[in-house]
Structure 1
Amino acid sequence: MDRSTDGWISGLIGVVIFSGSLPATRVAVEAFDPLFLTGARATIAGILGLALLLAFRERRPARQDLLPLAIVALGVVVGFPLLTALALQQVTSAHSIVFVGLLPLSTAIFGVIRGGERPSPAFWVFSILGSALVMGFALSQGLSASPMGDGLMLGAIIVCGLGYAEGARLSRRLGGWQVISWALVLSLPVMAVLALVYWPATFADVTLPAWIGLGYVSVFSMLVGFIFWYRGLAQGGIASVGQLQLLQPFFGLALAATLLHETVTPVMLLVTVGVIGCVIGARRFARRALTKALATGAT
């Protein structure tokens, strides 16, 4: 199996894991304050990440890696979880999941800025088309239900794309699980304090589904998924493998419909099918980006 194919397989596993994040967050915020949820999930994952680093006796990151790790932490440990938790208080997970279709474009843009990739013009056509389909859906809803919720989701997509690209760049040198583990450890003191400050007065009313949601986003969304995802981005190319995120709404909508019994409209399905089609076209024109990135990734 060549490096690119292995990267795509790892990336796909990461996307499948991430697809449960928004439905799980939606369930969790029904019982937990968004700020507590953000702090708690990062604290739990940070403790697990620290245990992994100690168990494998990993060396500390070099000084020049600290700022990139901080960017990863701000993007995927703090920014995306907090913004999506706040958004999901105002919109359904089915509605928010469609915005995930913007993640490939956000990741690709930051892949150019931070990862040194140079996708072809045809790649950008497919990537922008997929994003346009997502935004067309949002506009078709009139944004009347919750403009604030949609704004928070857009902000989450931007910071997440930055965290993905920065983490993938570091993974070429440090390794995928090491990057997310160090980012979690770096943010652990702040996130632990956040969890303590917003600690609920009682857990008596917390339902079992809410506990399961907290457990899922803590272990799988914050740690396990990133092990596969960063490995995939590093091996297959940030822009190329990043297009797999267009599949995430499909998996997420299925979970929202089956587990949360949320309504999935025909328009949502059409948008999802459209953005899935875009990943096929974008994949064909992203190979040059991987060659360029691997040539410059160590610099």
Structure 2
Amino acid sequence: MSSAHAPSPSEQTRGLWLGFLGVFIFALSIPMTRLAGGSAEAPQLDPLFVALGRAALAGLLSAVYLRLIGASWPRREHWWPLTWVALGVVFGWPLLLGYAVRHVDAVHASVISGVLPLATAAMAALVLRQRPSLGFWACAVAGLVLVLAFAAWRGAAGLQWADGLLLAAILSASSGYVGGARLSTQMAPQQVICWVLVLSLPLTLPAGLLSWPQTPVAWSAWGGFLYVSVFSMWLGFFAWYRALALGGTLRVSQVQVLQPFLSMLLAVPLLGEHLDAMTLGFGAAVIAVVWLGKRMPVDQVRQE
């Protein structure tokens, strides 16, 4: 039996700042995925290529990085956790998101993704056996209510099949985030995503090559693909897993409440989508909830 490390105040602060950096990088994922894949009316890169091609490129970069630092192979007990993370963040989230944003715009997808912090916190409470206070959960629920109220204000007329894909993508991402956070306490956080990507290469590399586009696409689509390959699929996790390891998964995951609003802000110059004062008002309210949630106690409990 071992005891979970309770993050100090300075570690929590560093974790939150790194969490903000990771969230900013990830906030561009939805608009960049939409840019890469296009819409149903004006398709660009195939969502299968965007999802698995980006993982293949990031996997090759990871192999070079691991070679340069002389990293040793993961221990046997780490193989299944690495596979679990891969199912969530290499295959589940990118594939489901890619097909969803073919049929809904980035603002719509960003609103639905607002439930990701609560999903991550709930997954962490289950898997990592952490105990948030009632006040912490109240802040998480308040953030969820805010994003749902925002969706209602935007006039969403019930769930579409693409919304089901987005909700499944959120479940996949939250599972991968928590699995990665747990592994980040046992190996260098930046090595977690690298090994996940390298071990996925036998599937992602041939799949990426087989789905290589056969017709010309816009240069902007290739730019979106390169971003989600290098930043969303690779470098963003350097910051994110380190943040979760330092500040605690439940606490740092609340920073994700900002992600849908950052995605919408960034979609304006990238995709020409509309942003109004009410959206900014919702964003300010969510920031207030995140600040309050940071002040709520979270108990670390003993791990087997």
TM-score using structure 2 length: 0.90
Q: 8 Å contact 1:3–1:235 — kept in the other structure?
A: yes
Structure 1 segment 5-16 matched on structure 2, within 5 A: 5-16=13-24
Asked if residue 227 in structure 1 is aligned to residue 235 in structure 2, the reply is no
Q: What corresponds to 2:49 in structure 1?
A: 36
Indicate how the Cα distance of structure 1 residues 2 and 114 shifts in structure 2: closer, same or farther if over 3 A, else same: same
Letter of the 2:220 partner, please give it. P
Does residue 181 (structure 1) correspond to residue 194 (structure 2)? The answer is yes
Q: Runs (4+) of structure 1 moved beyond 6 Å?
A: none
Q: Distance in 2 between matches of 1:71 and 1:143?
A: 33
- Residues 139-154 of structure 1 mapped to structure 2, 5 A cutoff: 139-141=152-154, 143-144=156-157, 147-154=160-167
Looking at structure 1, the residues matched to 63 and 205 of structure 2 have their Cα atoms a distance apart, in angstroms, of 14
Deviations 1:266-293 (A, max 9, x none): 554443333222211211114x33xx16
Give deviations 1:173-215, integer Å, cap 9, x for gaps. Answer: 112111000111111111112212322223x2x1111111000
Matches for 1:125-136 after TM superposition, within 5 Å: 125-136=138-149
Amino acid at match of 1:96: A
2:208 paired residue number:
195
SS in 1 for 2:186: helix
Of 71, 94, 106, the match for 2:84: 71
Give the counterpart letter for 1:24 in structure 2: M
Separation (CA, whole Å) in 1 of partners of 2:26 and 2:265: 13
Residue deviations 1:125-158 (CA, integer Å, cap 9, x gap):
1101211222233344554487012111111111
**What is the TM-score normalised by the length of structure 1?**
0.92
Q: In structure 1, the residue corresponding to 2:91 is in which secondary structure?
A: helix
- Return 265-274 or 42-51, whichever deviates more: 265-274
Paired residues of 1:4 and 1:236 also in contact (CA < 8 A): yes
Q: Percent identity?
A: 42
Equivalent runs, 1:42-81 vs 2, <5 Å: 42-81=55-94
Residues 164 and 270 of structure 1: CA distance in aligned 2, closer, same or farther (over 3 Å): same
Q: Is the contact made by 1:45 and 1:223 (CA closer than 8 Å) also made in structure 2? A: yes
Aligned-residue offset at 1:238: 0.2
What is the CA RMSD across the aligned residues, in angstroms? Answer: 1.8
Verify the 8 A CA contact 1:172 1:234 in the aligned structure 2.
yes
Letter in 2 for 1:10: L
Q: Distance in 2 between matches of 1:17 and 1:220?
A: 7
Q: Does 1:255 align with 2:293?
A: no
**Residue 24 in 1 paired to residue 37 in 2?**
no
Task: Give, in whole Å, the separation in 1 of the partners of 2:137 and 2:278.
Answer: 24
User: Aligned pair 1:2/2:10, yes or no?
Assistant: yes
Are residue 106 (structure 1) and residue 114 (structure 2) matched?
no
Tell me how far apart the structure 1 counterparts of residues 255 and 127 of structure 2 sit (CA, whole Å): 19
Instruction: State the AA in 2 paired with 1:207.
Output: A
Inter-partner Cα distance in structure 2 for 1:237 and 1:230: 10
SS of alignment partner, residue 58 of structure 1? coil
Distance in structure 1 (CA, Å) of the matches to 2:72 and 2:222: 34
Q: Give the AA of the match of 1:238.
A: T
Q: Aligned partners of 1:276 and 1:158: how far apart in 2?
A: 23
Aligned residues: 291
Unaligned runs of 5+ in 1: none
Match of 2:180 in 1: 167
Question: Residues 89-104 of structure 1: matches in 2 within 5 Å?
Answer: 89-104=102-117
CA offsets, 1:13-48, max 9 Å, x none?
A: 111111111111010002101011111100000001
DSSP 3-state at the match of 2:104: coil
| Structure 2: unaligned runs, 5 residues or longer | 1-8, 39-43
Alpha-carbon distance in 2 for matches of 1:190, 1:140: 42
SS in 2 for 1:32: coil
Letter in 2 for 1:276: I
